[in-house]
Amino acid sequence: MALNQVTSGTRALDSGTKLKPRSNYGRNPDGSRQGPVSAWVSRLVMLAVLALFTLPLYWMVISALKSPEELGGAGPVPAHAVPTGVPLGQLP
């Protein structure tokens, strides 16, 4: 059996059904390639999906690397709340 035939289990589904060659994937039905806007939109969608799936993984990794003091802390302190001109040992 040829590699370009679709099979299900042990029998061929339709000997007339052929798989598309690799060079035809991502092309329009008339054989032309995607336009530049369409290509950029598809790339942006792929990047958004990538971020959607990788941000929780990133969150887990940075949370696992925190010390116990950082985990129990109240959260980040805004920059305007830190007094200036006071030595670090004398902070309230």
Task: Give the pTM.
Answer: 0.43
pLDDT at 90: 66
Dist CA 50 CA 2 (whole Å): 36
Dist CA 50 CA 56 (whole Å): 11
Domain ranges of the chain: 35-66
Which tens digit of pLDDT belongs to each residue from 53-74? 999 999 999 989 988 888 877 7
Q: Which parts of the chain have pLDDT scores under 70? A: 1-17, 20, 22, 77, 79-84, 86-92
Q: Computed from CA positions of residues 66, 67, 72, 73, in that sequence, does the dihedral angle turn out positive or negative?
A: negative
pLDDT at 92: 59
